[in-house]
Amino acid sequence: MAAGSSYTIVEYFGGDDGYRCGYCKNENGNFSHGMWSHTMTVQDYQDLIDRGWRRSGKYVYKPIMNKTCCPQYTIRCHALHFQPSKTHKKILKKMNKFLSKGEMPSRECDGEPMESLCDEEGSRETPVDCLGEVSASVQEPLVVDQETPSPEGTSKVSKSEPLQTGGSGERPRERTEQPAPVPAPSSTRAGPKPGLGVDPNRPPCRKAKELRRERRLQKELQRQQGGCPVDHGQHLPQSRQNSQPRTLEELVTDSLPTDATHQVEVRLVRSNPPSSQFKSTFQESYQVYKRYQMAIHKDPPDKPSESQQFRRFLCDSPLQAESAPDGPDCGYGSFHQQYWLDGRIIAVGVIDILPTSVSSVYLYYDPDFSSLSLGSYTALREIAFTRQLHQKAPKLCYYYLGFYIHSCPKMRYKGQYRPSDLLCPETFVWVPIERCLPRLDHSRYSRFHEDPAAVDERALRDLGRTLVLHRRTVMPYAVYARKRKGPSDEKDVQQYAGLVGQVCAERILLYRA
């Protein structure tokens, strides 16, 4: 049976050698397994992500969690139930103020994530992803003939049109404060005098947050009523009494007048195979990337080569362009989301649209607009975009932020996009992040599944059924092993199949020379 475009074809490289860590700067402490993907279906990549893999260009890697110096845990956000935090609201308000009045903030607001700052010095074989991690060194693949995937497609998301929410979500839990310790009694201190207890005539204690909110409402009503005093909450407008938290989509388009100073538009262009829109804007997009690398990573002007870095890792992708009747109108695969401000590109989010998720790959932006907190702003827009896609594709409801590195404090901000889960590195089940953090505070590497008897449900059971591609022919490994001449490669194939799991091992074609 000849290999067709509906197959995933990979070459496995192993992962015995350590390389420099972009987080703790350990020269040989970062370990990962890697493979080169010549072509890949979106379903296979979705399944690999759900086993801890991640791509950079066509290179797909998986950190060796119990060996690497800074374990990287796959994190996903429940986009349908996401509610922006106070920091997120400030960022959206800051952007809307800029769009409405043209006021550029003088500095980044508190809480802006430290995207792409973990490896500012030293060489990077692959660029830092949009939320901060560095992949393994890429090895050159052998050449495998492969048909070009299906036709290109584009879609557009306009700022002026509010996105539709995929469902109302719960508000994240408020962080509870621990009570202050009670001082120990002193032998020299006089004992408390007997009292009458709580004064029943005094009003009950109230939270400062409630008092501040009430004072703001009183001032607002006083202005509306000419300065007349207002009773404590007894005459609030009905709309205030029954107000619901505004959705992310409402906050994105909040109070934007028709005559706003600036206009921003988000355009979705397919990067693989490249659409006509992608080709026509390639040079402008690349120039933004070049300025970003020089300003953020201090790269020399001649380093961000479009052939060696930009095109290879941010434009090339193994994912095949696919569509489905119950899928999004734009289809599945790899895309660039271009943020256009008054007719010029100021930021580009590299994303993959998969059967159940939108996966963030990378983000670069014009440094002139860094005070707008574009790292957080684009992440919020991508969550809103995920919710929009869910309207047409019901299974698509998660937003993947890449890797969460608890041992790197500036990477912990990814956990602020709640509700979110971390992937258990041993059983590959999703566990709410609230249950994982206490374990990570105790140990860099942790198994999250609370049942010690739980196992990987998709673990390798039959190596012989692993599919291989040999001399343009697809066959089970059991057949290939009988035909093979020379030293046995069973150890390498066993390691590969164990990492991808039984389901993927029976679908993905492992290239064998």
For residues 378 and 489, give the distance between their C-alpha atoms in angstroms, rounded to a whole number.
45
In this prediction, residue 182 carries a pLDDT of: 34
In this prediction, residue 206 carries a pLDDT of: 64
pTM: 0.78
In this prediction, residue 139 carries a pLDDT of: 53
In this prediction, residue 301 carries a pLDDT of: 79
With a cut of 60, say whether residue 453 has pLDDT above it: yes
DSSP character string of 26-67: -TT-B-EEEEEEEEB-HHHHHHHHTTT-EEETTEEEEE-TTT
**The token pair that represents 46 in the structure block:** 């979705």
Average pLDDT over residues 491-506: 98
Average pLDDT over residues 481-510: 96
In this prediction, residue 243 carries a pLDDT of: 67
For residue 312, CA distances in Å to 10, 127, 144, 271, 320 come to 17, 10, 17, 12, 16
> Of 174-178, 211-215, 222-226, 249-253, which has the strongest mean pLDDT?
249-253
On the question of a cis peptide bond just before residue 432, with omega within 30 degrees of 0, the verdict is no
In this prediction, residue 286 carries a pLDDT of: 95
With a cut of 80, say whether residue 324 has pLDDT above it: yes
Confidence of residue 124 (pLDDT cuts 50, 70, 90): very low
**Residue type at position 223:** R
The kind and range of the H/E element at 476 are: strand 473-476
Confidence of residue 41 (pLDDT cuts 50, 70, 90): very high
For residues 296 and 284, give the distance between their C-alpha atoms in angstroms, rounded to a whole number.
18
Q: Model confidence over 139-155: pLDDT tens digits?
A: 556 655 444 444 444 43
In this prediction, residue 16 carries a pLDDT of: 75
Q: Of residues 202 and 180, which shows the higher confidence score?
A: 202
Residues in contact with 187: Cβ distance below 8 Å, sequence separation at least 6, in sequence order: none
**For helices 490-505 and 42-49, angle between their N-to-C axes, nearest 10 degrees:** 110
With a cut of 70, say whether residue 188 has pLDDT above it: no
In this prediction, residue 1 carries a pLDDT of: 39
Are the C-beta atoms of 481 and 459 separated by less than 8 Å?
no
**The token pair that represents 486 in the structure block:** 């020379």
For residues 392 and 236, give the distance between their C-alpha atoms in angstroms, rounded to a whole number.
40
Average pLDDT over residues 114-125: 32
Average pLDDT over residues 206-226: 65
Q: Which residue has the tokens 């890792």?
A: 313
Are the C-beta atoms of 292 and 364 separated by less than 8 Å?
yes
In this prediction, residue 40 carries a pLDDT of: 98
Average pLDDT over residues 319-338: 97
With a cut of 60, say whether residue 395 has pLDDT above it: yes
Q: Which residue has the tokens 């893999």?
A: 53
Q: Which residue has the tokens 């939270």?
A: 207
Strand order, beta sheet including 430-432: 154-158, 264-272, 333-341, 344-353, 357-365, 398-404, 73-78, 420-423, 430-432
In this prediction, residue 200 carries a pLDDT of: 57
Q: Of residues 479 and 173, which shows the higher confidence score?
A: 479
Are the C-beta atoms of 155 and 329 separated by less than 8 Å?
yes
Q: Model confidence over 71-95: pLDDT tens digits?
A: 999 999 999 999 999 999 999 999 9
Beta strands in 250-397 (DSSP E): 264-272, 333-341, 344-353, 357-365
Confidence of residue 254 (pLDDT cuts 50, 70, 90): confident
Least confident of 137-146, 223-232, 374-383, 449-458: 223-232
Q: Of residues 131 and 204, which shows the higher confidence score?
A: 204
In this prediction, residue 162 carries a pLDDT of: 37
Least confident of 49-63, 138-152, 212-226: 138-152
Of all residues in the chain, the percent with pLDDT exceeding 70 is 72
Residues in contact with 277: Cβ distance below 8 Å, sequence separation at least 6, in sequence order: 154, 267, 269
Average pLDDT over residues 278-305: 89
For residues 403 and 396, give the distance between their C-alpha atoms in angstroms, rounded to a whole number.
20
For residues 137 and 30, give the distance between their C-alpha atoms in angstroms, rounded to a whole number.
11
Are the C-beta atoms of 460 and 497 separated by less than 8 Å?
yes
**The token pair that represents 335 in the structure block:** 């895309």
With a cut of 90, say whether residue 37 has pLDDT above it: yes
In this prediction, residue 8 carries a pLDDT of: 98
Q: Of residues 491 and 239, which shows the higher confidence score?
A: 491
Q: Model confidence over 419-450: pLDDT tens digits?
A: 999 999 999 999 999 999 999 999 999 999 99
Average pLDDT over residues 27-40: 96
Burial string for 466-503 (b: 16+ CB within 10 Å, else e) reads: bbbbbeeebbebeebbeeeeeeebeeebeebbebbbbe
The angle at the Cα of 134, spanning 35 to 489, to the nearest 5 degrees, equals 20
Q: Of residues 294 and 234, which shows the higher confidence score?
A: 294
Q: Mean pLDDT over all residues of the chain?
A: 81
Q: Model confidence over 335-389: pLDDT tens digits?
A: 999 999 999 999 999 999 999 999 999 999 999 999 999 999 999 999 999 999 9
In this prediction, residue 165 carries a pLDDT of: 34
- Count how many residues are written for the chain: 513
In this prediction, residue 235 carries a pLDDT of: 42
